[in-house]
Amino acid sequence: MKPENIFSALSALRQEGRLRQVQDLRMETASLGVDREGKRYIVFNSNDYLGMTHAKEVQEAAKAVRFGTGSGGARLTSGAAFELSNLEKEIADFKHTEDAVIFNTGYMANLGVLYALAGKGDVIFSDELNHASIVDGCRISKAETAVYRHSDMADLERLLQTVPCEGQRFIVTDGVFSMDGDICPLPALAVLKKDYGACLIVDDAHASGVIGRTGRGTAEYFRMAGVDVQVGTLSKAFGAEGGYIAASREICDYLRNTSRPFIFSTAISAVTGAAALAALRLLKADPEKYLGRLRENTAYMRNLLTETGVGIAAGDTPIIPVAVGDEKEALATAEACRKEGILLSAIRPPSVPVGTSRIRLTVTAMHTKEEMKKAAAILIRHWRSK
């Protein structure tokens, strides 16, 4: 892009009210943020579902790392801290898979798996509401991509029947969809996967540590096996950052040998690995302690909103979308809440289609009832004033 075109593109965004800026926020606790002016907010747009970033054990595990702050290189060339291999073993155990591979982010995990597994002659069948990292993974793979209507199994089957494929078929979906918090229809996907000999990839970024009896994600939620590749992140429920793939030993070894996002990027640090490992161990040791509160808070907040007639879709996850429709109204509602000390997200195009803008509110295990009541009251007041 020429410089003058960058300038006019920015001006256009500004005029449309779509120019976004990074907002600094220091999280003092899992639910309280402070901006640079010292203004305090109750935060309802963090993915720190279990409050692990502030858990004492997690912070102590990070502080206890003694051997260097950086990894010094990619894992195949320089090796890496013991913490990362330990973490891979624990993730595989948690996900009931043979092995796991850590990537630097969940975004890179999706790029890495689709790039490495889906090649020329293959076809990736992808849900239209899949996360951007899956969309980009489809783009950088050499496979063809067929996009099916959101969670529409008839549409997926129609494409499986009609899109020519000489090679391998892949079906890829978010486990919990990040915009609406709805859960993919895994039982039906598993049937189609079997009928058409496809490889099923489920991205559990918002599902691991969130759904399933012990927080193991979408497969556990439906009490079933049959997912070939589970993608996840360490940046949401596990209070750190990094991404992972949990799968068979062959798939993991293949990724370590062929996946460019794995091979050509310096590994996450031991500090990050140790934090994620501590969070995972906390959850494994006492899932009910964390997930019980998350479920309770999710139900509490969903009830508060539905009782008063705010338009939310029923659901089981802590991602609660409040339908608004108009983009400017969604933005104005979020801004009005922000002025009153409540942070939530206005989700608008291009993240969602025009006319379906919404407010997204994310509940964590750490919110108190008072915080939820306050947020709901403020949101309802501004939502009603429309």
Ligand X SMILES: *Cc1c(COP(=O)(O)O)cnc(C)c1O
Q: Which residues are catalytic, by number?
A: 178, 206, 236
211 binds ligand X (CB under 6 A): no
Shortest Cβ 339–ligand X spacing (Å)? 27
Q: Which of 88, 99, 174, 371 is the binder for ligand X (CB under 6 A)? A: 174
Nearer to ligand X, 131 or 358 (CB): 131
Q: Please state the separation of Cα 233 from the chain's center in Å.
A: 7
Give the shortest CB-192-to-ligand X separation in angstroms.
20
Nearest residue by C-beta to ligand X? Answer: 106
Three-state DSSP state, 72:
coil
* Backbone φ, ψ for residue 169 (5° rounding): -95, 140
Total residues interacting with ligand X, rule: CB under 6 A: 14
Residue 47 CB, shortest distance to ligand X, in Å, is: 7
Q: Does 346 engage in binding with ligand X (CB under 6 A)?
A: no
* Contact string 322-341 vs ligand X (x = CB under 6 A): --------------------
CA separation, residue 356 to residues 19, 329, 349 (Å): 19, 11, 8
Residues 79 and 100: their CA atoms lie apart, in Å, by 17
Judged by CB under 6 A, the residue of 88, 127, 182, 203 near ligand X is 203
Q: Classify burial at 87, counting beta carbons within 10 Å of its beta carbon; exposed 0-12, middle 13-18, buried 19 or more.
A: buried
Does position 106 interact with ligand X (CB under 6 A)? The reply is: yes
294 makes contact with ligand X (CB under 6 A) = no
Total Cβ atoms within 10 A of residue 292: 12
**Is the CB of 103 or the CB of 383 nearer to ligand X?**
103
State in angstroms the smallest separation of the CB of 50 from ligand X: 15
Residues 85-104 that bind ligand X (CB under 6 A): none
Indicate the helix (H) or strand (E) that contains 73: none
CB of 184 to ligand X, least distance (A): 11
Which listed range, 26-34, 105-113, 187-195, 351-359, lies at the site for ligand X (CB under 6 A)? 105-113
Judged by CB, which is closer to ligand X: 131, or 360?
Answer: 131
Contact 40, 34 (CB under 8 A): yes
178 binds ligand X (CB under 6 A): yes
Is there binding between residue 243 and ligand X (CB under 6 A)?
yes
Q: Helices 106-117 and 132-140: crossing angle, nearest 10°?
A: 30
x-or-dash string of contact with ligand X, 111-150, rule CB under 6 A: --------------------x-x-----------------
With CA atoms as reference, report the closest residue to 215 among 163, 162, 110, 290.
290
User: C-beta of 131: minimal distance to ligand X in Å?
Assistant: 3
- Alpha-carbon distance of 49 to 336, in angstroms, equals 24
Residue 205 contacts ligand X per CB under 6 A: yes
DSSP 195-206: HTTPEEEEE-TT
The backbone region for 199, taken as left when phi is positive above 0, alpha when psi lies in -120 to 50, beta otherwise, is beta
CA distance readout (Å), 76 to 114, 243, 257, 284, 384: 20, 17, 9, 29, 56
What residues make contact with ligand X under the rule CB under 6 A? 105-107, 110, 131, 133, 174, 178, 203, 205-206, 233, 235, 243
